[in-house]
Amino acid sequence: MFKSTTLSIPEVGPVPRHIAIIMDGNGRWARNRHLPRVAGHRKGADAVRSTVRGCAERGVEFLTVFAFSSENWRRPAEEVSFLMDLFVTALEQEVAKLHENGIRFRVIGELSRFEPRIQALIREAEALTAANTRLTLTVAANYGGRWDLMQAVERMLATRPELARGFSEHDLGAHLAMNYAPEPDLFIRTGGEQRISNFLLWQLAYTELYFTDTLWPDFDAAALERAIQSYRQRERRFGRTSEQLIDEVAPRLPRLAGKG
Ligand code: IPE
Ligand code: IPE
Ligand code: MG
C-alpha cells in the first residue's frame, strides 16, 4: 500500500484520497468562552465525529487525525489525564458506531506509553473493524514524526540487518506506522498556527497544505468543504511543469460535441 510521491506520481482526483488533520485550537475555543480548556477538548470530540461523517460521505478513503503528540505530555497533568479519559470514553462509546458505518479504525503512535487498558481497547477496536473498507480513520496518539522515522529504521534493521549497508525508500516506508495508507493528499491545520508540530514528517513530502484560523471545535461540514474546495484549486505538479500537466490531461478530457 505504501506509495512514495517522490518515486512515482499518484493519480489525482477531485476528492482527496487521504486527509490528515492537526486538530488545534481546543484550548482557545474554551478560553474565548471563559470555560476550562477541557471543555474545548470535549467539544473537539464532536468535531471529529462530524468530520468522519463528512469524509465518509464524500468518498475520502483515509482520514488521519492528530489527537495527542509525543510533546503533549508536557502539558499540565490534569489536562493529560482528561485527554486520556476522553480517549477511553471515545474508544468505549464510538467504536461500535464506526463499525456499523463500515469504518476501519487504526491508531498510530508509541502505544507502550499508554495504560494497558487503553492499549487493550485499541487492539480490540482495530481487530473489530479490520475488514471494513469504507473509510480508514487513523488516530495519531502519542505520535511524533521523528519517533515514526526512528522506529521504522529500527524495525527495518531488526528484520533485515543486511540493509544497514543500504536501503531504499520502499524498504523504510514498509515499516512506517502508516504503511497501509497512501501519503496524504490534503493536510489541514486548524487554530491558525502554520507549523507541522512533528506530525507526519515523511508522508507530507508532497501533500497540499491548508491552514485555517477556524478553531477545531468550530470545524464543521462547511469548513471541511472549504478545505476540499481549496484543494481542488491546487495544481499538483510533483516536480513537473504546468505545460506537462496540460499535455497529459488534455487527451483524457471528453471531446466537446462537434469539435472532435
Ligand atoms: C488541540 O488543541 C488538542 C490537543 C493538542 C490535544 P489545543 O489544546 O492545543 O488548543 P490550543 O492550541 O491551546 O488553543
Ligand atoms: C499539535 O497541537 C498536536 C495535536 C493537535 C494533537 P499542539 O497545540 O500541541 O501544537 P504546538 O505545540 O502548539 O505546535
Ligand atoms: Mg494547540
Contact (Cβ atoms closer than 8 angstroms) between residue 234 and residue 217: no
pLDDT digits 0-9 by tens, 28-86: 999 999 999 999 999 999 999 999 999 999 999 999 999 999 999 999 999 999 999 99
Nearest CA residue ID for atom 3, ligand 1: 24
Least Cα distance to 145 among 66, 51, 81 occurs for 66
* 51: amino acid identity, one letter: T
* Ligand 1 atom with minimal separation from the 25 CA: 14
Lookup: cell for 37? 480548556
- Spell out the alpha helix ranges (H) of 101-187: 116-129, 145-159, 169-173
Cα gap 168→259, rounded to integer Å: 48
Could you tell me if the CB of 21 is within 6 A of ligand 2? no
Q: Is 190 in the pocket of ligand 1 (CB under 6 A)?
A: no
- How is domain 18-251 classified at the architecture level of CATH? 3-Layer(aba) Sandwich (3.40)
Task: Give nearest CA residue, ligand 2 atom 7.
Answer: 24
With contact defined as beta carbons under 8 Å apart, do 206 and 6 qualify? yes
Q: Which three cell numbers stand for residue 42?
A: 470535549
**What would the pLDDT profile of 196-246 be if each residue is shown by its tens digit?**
999 999 999 999 999 999 999 999 999 999 999 999 999 999 999 999 998
Q: What is the pTM of this model?
A: 0.95
